Amino acid sequence: MTKGVIAINKQKWRETLTGYLFIAPMLIGVTIFLIMPIIASFILSFTHWNHISGFRGVEFAGLTHFKNLLNDDLFWKSIKNNLIFLLVVPITLAISLFLAVIINKSVYFKSFFKVVYFMPYISSIVAVAMVWQVLFHPSYGPINSMLMSLGIADPPKWIADIHFALPSVMMIMVWVSIGYNMIIYIAGLQSIPQELYEAADIDGATASQKFKSITLPLLSPTTFFLLITGIIGTFKVFDIIQVLTKGGPAGSTSVVVYYLYETAFINLKMSYASTMALFLFFAIFLITLIQWYGQRKWVNY
């Protein structure tokens, strides 16, 4: 009996070891490139340090950076811009759902339209930004040329205008994100049983009633997924701002991640940037928790 138990324990130990060996490459990668930087960022938030001085230049700073953050006007302006940027998410969801319903039901060449709308999402964001930079050119851009031909003598300067720069970037992000959201919505629509719509037809339900009572409730898990990922994505937006506006004009398009990058790698205030990263982490974590709590009231599984 004892030998049998020992043999079973050895077999379990070998299976466990084999499992750990298989996940070791991913586990090592996650540890080195994700967990360790998070821990390092947390520690650096309480120090004075930049990567030029090396580890010998580390000095304990306590809560100094957190106090400075509360009085940093540019940081709070970046937070405000990020909150405005959140409008991208509901606008994108609404347009994507509208297109998904139409393409899924009433359009020929569905595959063609899926590819057309998905192309901006898989294209290089740098290339996309350069194209829109030409389109938004205040003097020679096609958009302003068209507006002037329609009789608008002084069209907006778009990304060169302090009042229009952020809406311009938001417009581009909506255009880029529509394809991905639409594809996910189409997948969700195709998973809805057709028997429900047939039963609604028998009961004499109108198209709007079917959309409100069947489509929207059964798409709520899909909407919840896109809502969470969309909000997190707006807080991480960086590349298109770096290429198009570099946070300008006058900080009107500066968001938290861009200001963090500028602080860390241009102004060489690595510890202060780590404090911003810590703040951003907890802000996103709190928003996600609120969403997880709120989804119980409107998401139907």
**What's the CATH number where 202 sits?**
1.10.3720.10
**Residues 49, 100: one domain?**
no
Of 16, 32, 67, which residue is a domain's last? 67
Q: How confident is the model at residue 77 (pLDDT cuts 50, 70, 90)?
A: very high
Provide the pLDDT for residue 256.
92
Cα–Cα distance measured from residue 83 to residue 93, given in angstroms and rounded to the nearest whole number: 17
User: Quick one: how far is CA 135 from the chain centroid?
Assistant: 24
Provide the pLDDT for residue 76.
93
Of 234, 254, 274, which residue is a domain's last? 254
**Residues 30, 96: one domain?**
no
Single out the residue of 247, 243, 239 nearest to residue 81, CA to CA: 247
- How many residues in the chain? 301
CA of 197: how far to CAs of 96, 157, 201, 209, 211, in Å? 21, 48, 6, 10, 9
- Answer whether residue 293 is part of any domain: no
- Answer whether residue 278 is part of any domain: no
**Residues 15, 90: one domain?**
no
Which residues, 6 or more positions from 227, have their beta carbon under 8 angstroms from its beta carbon? 89, 93, 291
- Answer whether residue 177 is part of any domain: yes
Split into its structural domains, the chain has a count of 2
Q: How confident is the model at residue 7 (pLDDT cuts 50, 70, 90)?
A: low
- Answer whether residue 271 is part of any domain: no
**Residues 109, 250: one domain?**
yes
**Residues 108, 178: one domain?**
yes
17: containing domain = 2-67
Q: Answer whether 119's CB lies under 8 Å from 179's CB.
A: yes
**Residues 180, 57: one domain?**
no
At 190, the amino acid letter reads Q
Residue 1, pLDDT > 60, answer no
% of the chain with per-residue pLDDT over 90: 32
Q: Answer whether 229's CB lies under 8 Å from 293's CB.
A: no
**Residues 115, 216: one domain?**
yes
The one-character DSSP state at 295 is G
For residue 168, give both structure tokens. 């311009």
Tell me the CB-side half-sphere exposure of residue 132, using CA atoms within 13 A: 25
The 10s digit of each residue's pLDDT in 114-145 is 888 899 898 888 888 889 988 988 888 898 88
- Answer whether residue 78 is part of any domain: no
**Residues 180, 218: one domain?**
yes
Q: Answer whether 256's CB lies under 8 Å from 280's CB.
A: yes
- Answer whether residue 138 is part of any domain: yes
**Residues 117, 39: one domain?**
no
- Answer whether residue 214 is part of any domain: yes
Of 67, 96, 111, which residue is a domain's last? 67
- Answer whether residue 216 is part of any domain: yes
**Residues 183, 92: one domain?**
yes
Please tell me the pTM assigned to this model: 0.85
For residue 38, give both structure tokens. 């998070």
**Residues 185, 139: one domain?**
yes
**Residues 39, 150: one domain?**
no
